[in-house]
C-alpha cells in the first residue's frame, strides 16, 4: 500500500523538456549501513554538510525536472522535514541577520515542487517505483536513487533525457565495473548503436554471478522510464531477494527493444555502502572552495604519516 502526503509549496525553475517529473525512491531499509540507519534514513546521512538526498534533488533540478516525488518509508519523517520550511530555525537565523545559514536552511524547499508518498512496506525498488504511478500519470519520468550520488560536476541525467528524446522508450545509466563486482548490480546485455556513449539494451539480469553475467555493464541509480513500465511492474512477481525488482520489469521492456543505455564513465558514489560513503565525503570535501584547501593539506599529511609510520590510522590524531 502507498499513501499520499500533501506536497510542500515551493518555487521551481521552468523546463522545456518532455520529462518534468523525477521520482526518488528512499524507502529501503539501509541494512548495509547499520547501526547508523537504525533510526535515520541512509539518504539523510551527511555528505560534508548536506544530506545525500539533497544532492540528488539538486541534480534533478539542474536537469530541469521541477517536480520531485520522494518515495519514503518508516523513519522517513526526517526527509519530509528537510524539504519543508523550518519556521523557528528560520526566524532565529533571520533575527541574527545570518543570511548565509538562512539561505542554506531554505534552499532544500526551494529546489523543486516536492511531494511525498509512503511505501508501506519495502517490497523492492520496482514496488517503490510503482507507488509513483498515480502521481506520474502517462508521461515519461526520471528515477534517481536517493543514496546514489552522481558528482555535481557531471551531466549524466541531461544526457539521458536527450537520449530519451532521440530514441523514445526507457533509458538506463550503465557503468563498466570490475567483473568481480558485477554480482552487486543489475547487469545489461548490450548492442552497439552508432553513438559511442549509447547502447541498445537487449537483456537485463539482477545481481548475476560473474559466470552468468552477460557483460560488465552495471546498471547504476539513474533511469528515464517510459510510463509503459507501470503495467509491466503490476505483473512483475517478486524476484531476487523476494523483492519486486525494477530490473525484472526493464528486462521485459528490453525484450521489445525499447530500452537504451547511456554509458557513464564519470564520478558516481553509492552512499549506502560504508567505504564508498567515506570516499564520497573526502572527494566532495576536497572539491569545496571553503573547506577544500585546509582539508586537503591535512589529508596529505595524514596519508604521508600513514605511509611513513608516524601516524597510526587506528588511533585518534591530535591534528
- In angstroms, give the least distance from the CB of 26 to ligand UTP: 5
The rounded distance, in Å, linking the Cα atoms of 179 and 278 is 23
Map 219-231 to HEC letters.
Answer: EEEEEEECCHHHH
- In angstroms, give the least distance from the CB of 71 to ligand UTP: 5
Interacting residues of 68 by C-beta distance below 8 A, sequence separation 6+: 21, 22, 23, 24, 57, 60, 61, 111, 112, 113, 114, 115
- In angstroms, give the least distance from the CB of 20 to ligand UTP: 21
Based on CB atoms, which residue is closest to ligand UTP, 120 or 293? 120
Rounded to a whole number, what is the distance in angstroms from the first to the last CA of the chain? 51
Q: Draw the binding track, 62-101, toward ligand UTP (x: CB under 6 A; -: no contact).
A: ---------x------------------------------
- In angstroms, give the least distance from the CB of 41 to ligand UTP: 8
Question: Out of 30, 64, 108, 186, which residue is the one contacting ligand UTP (CB under 6 A)?
Answer: 30
Interacting residues of 167 by C-beta distance below 8 A, sequence separation 6+: 198, 260
Question: Out of 19, 22, 25, 69, which residue is the one contacting ligand UTP (CB under 6 A)?
Answer: 25
If binding means CB under 6 A, how many residues of this protein chain bind ligand UTP?
Answer: 21
Of 14-22, 145-153, 156-164, 310-318, the window that binds ligand UTP (rule: CB under 6 A) is 145-153
**How many CB atoms are located within 10 Å of the residue 151 CB?**
16
Based on CB atoms, which residue is closest to ligand UTP, 71 or 171? 71
Q: Are 210 and 247 in contact (CB under 8 A)?
A: no
The rounded distance, in Å, linking the Cα atoms of 287 and 279 is 12
239 binding ligand UTP? (CB under 6 A): no
Of 57-65, 142-150, 200-208, 281-289, the window that binds ligand UTP (rule: CB under 6 A) is 142-150
- In angstroms, give the least distance from the CB of 92 to ligand UTP: 32
Question: Out of 63, 128, 156, 250, which residue is the one contacting ligand UTP (CB under 6 A)?
Answer: 128
The rounded distance, in Å, linking the Cα atoms of 158 and 166 is 12
Question: Out of 67, 147, 206, 248, which residue is the one contacting ligand UTP (CB under 6 A)?
Answer: 147
172 binding ligand UTP? (CB under 6 A): no
- Three-state secondary structure call for residue 21: strand
**β-bridge partners, 269:** 149
Based on CB atoms, which residue is closest to ligand UTP, 108 or 124? 124
Contacts of ligand UTP in 241-300 (CB under 6 A) = 272
Based on CB atoms, which residue is closest to ligand UTP, 26 or 63? 26
**∠ at Cα 45 (188, 311), nearest 5°?**
100
The rounded distance, in Å, linking the Cα atoms of 173 and 221 is 7
146 binding ligand UTP? (CB under 6 A): yes
209 binding ligand UTP? (CB under 6 A): no
The rounded distance, in Å, linking the Cα atoms of 314 and 84 is 40
Question: Phi and psi (nearest 5°) for 97?
Answer: 75, 20
Dihedral sign, Cα of residue 109, residue 114, residue 115, residue 120: negative
140 binding ligand UTP? (CB under 6 A): no
Based on CB atoms, which residue is closest to ligand UTP, 217 or 277? 277
Q: Are 124 and 245 in contact (CB under 8 A)?
A: yes
Question: Out of 29, 267, 282, 287, which residue is the one contacting ligand UTP (CB under 6 A)?
Answer: 29
Contact positions vs ligand UTP (CB under 6 A):
25-33, 71, 119, 122-125, 127-128, 145-147, 272
Amino acid at each position: 500500500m502507498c499513501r499520499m502526503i500533501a506536497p510542500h509549496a515551493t518555487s521551481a525553475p521552468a523546463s522545456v523538456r518532455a520529462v518534468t517529473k523525477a521520482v526518488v525512491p528512499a524507502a529501503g531499509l539501509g541494512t548495509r549501513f547499520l547501526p547508523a540507519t537504525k533510526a535515520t534514513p541512509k539518504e539523510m546521512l551527511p555528505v560534508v554538510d548536506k544530506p545525500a538526498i539533497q544532492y540528488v534533488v539538486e541534480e534533478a533540478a539542474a536537469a530541469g525536472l521541477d517536480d520531485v516525488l520522494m518515495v519514503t518509508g518508516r523513519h522517513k519523517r526526517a526527509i519530509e522535514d528537510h524539504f519543508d520550511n523550518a519556521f523557528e530555525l528560520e526566524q532565529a537565523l533571520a533575527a541574527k541577520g545570518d543570511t548565509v545559514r538562512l539561505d542554506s536552511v531554505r534552499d532544500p524547499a526551494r529546489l523543486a515542487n516536492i511531494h511525498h508518498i509512503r511505501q508501506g512496506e519495502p517490497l523492492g525498488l520496482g514496488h517503490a517505483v510503482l507507488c509513483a504511478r498515480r502521481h506520474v500519470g502517462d508521461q515519461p519520468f526520471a528515477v534517481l536513487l536517493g543514496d546514489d550520488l552522481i558528482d555535481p560536476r557531471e551531466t549524466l541525467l541531461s544526457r539521458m533525457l536527450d537520449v530519451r528524446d532521440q530514441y523514445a522508450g526507457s533509458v538506463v545509466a550503465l557503468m563498466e565495473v570490475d567483473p568481480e563486482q558485477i554480482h552487486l548490480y543489475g547487469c545489461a546485455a548490450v548492442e552497439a548503436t552508432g553513438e559511442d556513449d549509447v547502447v541498445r539494451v537487449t537483456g537485463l539480469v539482477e545481481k548475476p554471478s560473474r559466470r552468468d553475467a552477460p557483460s560488465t555493464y552495471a546498471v547504476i541509480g539513474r533511469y528515464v522510464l517510459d510510463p509503459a513500465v507501470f503495467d509491466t511492474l503490476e505483473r512483475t512477481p517478486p524476484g531476487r531477494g523476494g523483492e519486486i525488482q525494477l530490473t525484472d520489469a526493464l528486462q521485459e521492456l528490453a525484450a521489445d527493444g525499447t530500452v537504451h543505455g547511456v554509458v557513464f564513465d564519470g564520478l558516481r558514489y553509492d552512499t549506502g555502502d560504508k567505504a564508498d560513503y567515506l570516499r564520497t565525503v573526502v572527494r566532495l570535501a576536497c572539491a569545496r572552495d571553503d573547506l577544500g584547501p585546509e582539508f586537503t593539506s591535512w589529508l596529505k599529511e595524514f596519508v604521508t604519516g600513514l605511509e611513513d609510520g608516524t601516524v597510526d590510522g587506528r588511533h585518534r590524531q591530535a591534528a
